[in-house]
Amino acid sequence: MPKPDLRAMQISLGPVAVFGASNFPLAFSVAGGDTASALAAGCSVVVKGHPEHPGTSELAGLAVMRAIQKNDIPAGVFSLLQAKKINVGMVLVQHPLIKAVAFTGSFSGGRALFDLASARPEPIPVYAEMGSVNPIFLLPQIIADKGTTLATALIESLTLGVGQFCTTPGLVLLVRDAATERFLCEVETCLAGKPPGVMLHNGIKRNFLAGLNELLSIDGVVRRGSPPSSLDGCLVTSVLLQVDAKVLLDNPSLAEEVFGPSAIVVVCDSRNEMLIVAERLQGQLTASVHGSNGELASFRDLLATLERKAGRLVINNFPTGVEVCASMQHGGPYPATTDSRSTSVGTYAAKRFLRPVCYQNFPQKLLPEPLRDQNLQNLWRLVDGRMSRDDL
């Protein structure tokens, strides 16, 4: 049978509501990654600025507005809303013209927006990045071989940016053996050498201290190192806690994120118990494994489990530091995000705001330029099953 001429490409979903993140006043706020990727996808953007940095939001918003005027872009392509009350954001998500939502923040905030968007007469996708405890598995041989280096690197990662990254390690898992206590003392020493750090605003500090108190109220949770003194303003000290794996298994809330520079060391009785803890983990942005060359291969089952739990698997690196490139995946199974099929960092972040359209039997002149016979933009195109940059 003769086949019709079918050509497909991605077009924009429509206007996107972007919620500025509390912890990234620049990179994930008004002119941050969500806004950039929505604009790159051809969507207009309405930003709801985060109430903890209204001034920074205003400055960034004005810069975007100036760029729009300078380049003769229609003014409606970008808007900034500022409000302390959450109802402004709710009205935005429910507006019929909004076709997608991007959010970075707390689990409760992200889930509330997701529920609101799903209950609309026309449901829309919500890309909520809601955090992660970013488990780090330290295998026995590498602790024995490189414990000191590892202790320093772990504390560097924990305290980077005063623990205010989505990828800050919050859970450190190891198997109890002869080297464990010496290693943990080294970690404790590294931590003690770190001066207090300034968190971004009072709200973050308040939540951090409240979260820590909840963790410490659970039987079996012990603090490594001296209790922090009460500090002024947004200053905090970093904190290391320790539990036996059994306590974690009985108290799943220990594996929920406390945003800030704190981590819980989970001591497992055996390799098998470590696998059980891994199996029980919720969805994560990242999961890291540190092991010597020899032992990594014997932990393939752990890697296979973590592949189902996280968006990015890391070997012998720490998860903090998120490269902006095509191969980055910053996302993961729920509750790390509300949409594990997407990334909020890197080239493919723009894909979140696209949908495919097929053009059947179109005359050349009416086709979008990327689909015409003549490949003016020198794009890679799949033509009759073959990748090509040729004209048709």
* Amino acid identity for residue 303 in this structure: L
Query: Phi and psi for 107 in degrees, rounded to 5?
Result: -60, -45
Angle separating helix axes 180-192 and 140-159, nearest 10 degrees = 20
Q: Is 354 in the site for a second copy (CB under 8 A)?
A: yes
Kindly state the tokens that stand for 219.
């039987």
Kindly state the tokens that stand for 98.
């909004």
Q: Which of residues 274-293 bind a second copy (CB under 8 A)?
A: 283, 293
Compare residues 61 and 283 and give the one whose CB is closer to a second copy: 283
Query: Phi and psi for 70 in degrees, rounded to 5?
Result: -60, -35
Compare residues 119 and 178 and give the one whose CB is closer to a second copy: 119
Compare residues 13 and 173 and give the one whose CB is closer to a second copy: 13
Helices (H), 180-230: 180-192, 202-216
The terminus-to-terminus CA distance of the chain in angstroms comes to: 21
Q: Is 373 in the site for a second copy (CB under 8 A)?
A: no
Cβ proximity of 369 and 362 under 8 Å: no
> Is 52 an annotated catalytic residue?
no
Q: Is 160 in the site for a second copy (CB under 8 A)?
A: no
> Is 181 an annotated catalytic residue?
no
Q: Is 270 in the site for a second copy (CB under 8 A)?
A: no
Tell me how far, at minimum, the Cβ of 75 lies from a second copy, in Å. 20
Tell me which of 129, 188, 256, 257 is the catalytic residue: 129
Cβ proximity of 374 and 12 under 8 Å: no
Cβ proximity of 238 and 159 under 8 Å: yes
Tell me how far, at minimum, the Cβ of 187 lies from a second copy, in Å. 21
CA distance 276 to 281: 9
Is 111 strand, coil or helix?
helix
Compare residues 297 and 376 and give the one whose CB is closer to a second copy: 297
Q: Is 2 in the site for a second copy (CB under 8 A)?
A: no
Compare residues 323 and 373 and give the one whose CB is closer to a second copy: 323
Tell me which of 43, 52, 166, 257 is the catalytic residue: 166
Task: Return residues touching a second copy (CB under 8 A).
Answer: 3-4, 6-8, 11, 13-14, 114-115, 118-119, 122-123, 125, 283, 293, 296-297, 300, 303, 307-308, 310-317, 321, 323, 325-329, 331, 333-335, 338-341, 343, 348, 354-363, 365-366, 380, 382, 385, 387
Residues with active-site annotation: 129, 166
